[in-house]
Amino acid sequence: MLDRAIGGVAPRRRPAPLASPAMVVSLDLLINAIVAGILLGGFYAAVTVGVTIAFGMLDIANIAQPAFILLGSYAAYIITAYVKIDPILVGFIMLPVFYVLGMATYRLYYYAFESRGEQAIQGLAFFFGLLFVGEVSLVLVFGVDYRFVEAPYIGPSLHLGIFDLPLRMLIPCVVSLVMVGVLQLYLTRSFIGRAILAVSQDGLALQLMAASPIRIKQIAFGISTATCALAGTFLIIIQPVEPSIGRDYIGRIFAICVLGGMTSVPGMVAASMLIGIVESITATFYGPSWAPAVAFGFLLATLAVRPAGLMGR
């Protein structure tokens, strides 16, 4: 009626055809999401390998691991602010410092809780306290502002055909996988490494081999904490950090550890890659807010099929 009143008849339009899933999902976008997930998985491997040693091999629920990682991030921030060197080099320089810090932390934990057989709830509260104290200390010293570092590879990307590889993700991923590979060789080829793998299974047999389980655990916890120096450096390269950002990784790193099989470093790497890919694809096509939920749903589905994890015994 309105069309006729103004002197004409409006032409009928055909309804637009519904888009098929093949039209919605771009192949290039999917491939780049998978590649981004692999790079993200490399970073997850760096932040989770320490928990695999402490929680999986030593039965120590070190929920303060994100606090040590943030300490590595702020160490890189402070040193690069005064000395113009590469942040990753700072991570390597801080490895011995974090190793000693980890050994001292385990000694305190052992004398206060483990030697008394109170390493369950009390020990968990101890590490929760470390996490809280670490976060509050960083807030008091640095405030709640975001901090970042500068490096030549933080901005540029490497373009290979349809692949887009941000160097701020690619370089930490490569260095992370090298670190995990060296650590796996140490655990499987050296006497101390094999003792670390055996300490939670049969401490008495370890004593018969003239090795002190407490000493082996102290070394292992030192190595676990030392990885935080590099993991923290990778974190501040990938994104700016503030003291409370470590909370975002507590559940994720323990989930990856369990999915990988607890004591398996190769399983942890595979789990890191899978979680990274699932999160990247979900964030690309459905939004970042869905990524954690889908990733943990994938974890539950996998454990329902294989309760021991991907490479669990």
pLDDT tens digits for 138-164? 999 999 899 999 999 998 888 887 788
* Size of the chain in residues: 313
> Quick check: 180 pLDDT over 50?
yes
> For residue range 271-306, what is the model confidence (pLDDT) as tens digits?
999 999 999 999 988 888 887 788 788 888 888 888
- Based on the number of CB atoms within 10 Å of its own CB, is 14 exposed (0-12), middle (13-18) or buried (19 or more)? exposed
- In this prediction, residue 186 has a pLDDT band, given cuts at 50, 70 and 90, of very high
Half-sphere exposure of 46 (CA within 13 A, CB side): 29
Listed in sequence order, the DSSP H helices in 83-212 are 87-93, 95-112, 121-142, 167-189, 191-199, 203-208
Contact in structure between 271 and 20 (CB atoms under 8 Å): no
Calpha distance 189→44 (Å, rounded): 24
Residues 71-75, mean pLDDT to the nearest whole number: 95
Element (H, E) at 163: strand 163-166
> For residue range 5-19, what is the model confidence (pLDDT) as tens digits?
434 444 444 444 444
Query: Which is higher by pLDDT, 191 or 119?
Result: 191
- In this prediction, residue 2 has a pLDDT band, given cuts at 50, 70 and 90, of very low
Which neighbouring-strand residues pair with 158? 165
Predicted TM-score (pTM) of the model is 0.86
Calpha distance 175→187 (Å, rounded): 18
Residues 234-245, mean pLDDT to the nearest whole number: 93
**What pLDDT sits at residue 211?**
73
Owner of token pair 């934990």: 109
Contact in structure between 49 and 177 (CB atoms under 8 Å): no
> Quick check: 24 pLDDT over 50?
no
- What whole-number percentage of the chain has pLDDT above 90? 48
Residue-averaged pLDDT of the chain: 85
Whole-number Cα distances in Å, 43 to 145, 172, 202, 238: 23, 7, 32, 9
**What pLDDT sits at residue 25?**
57
- Helix/strand/coil for 62: coil
| Pair of tokens at residue 298 | 């994938």
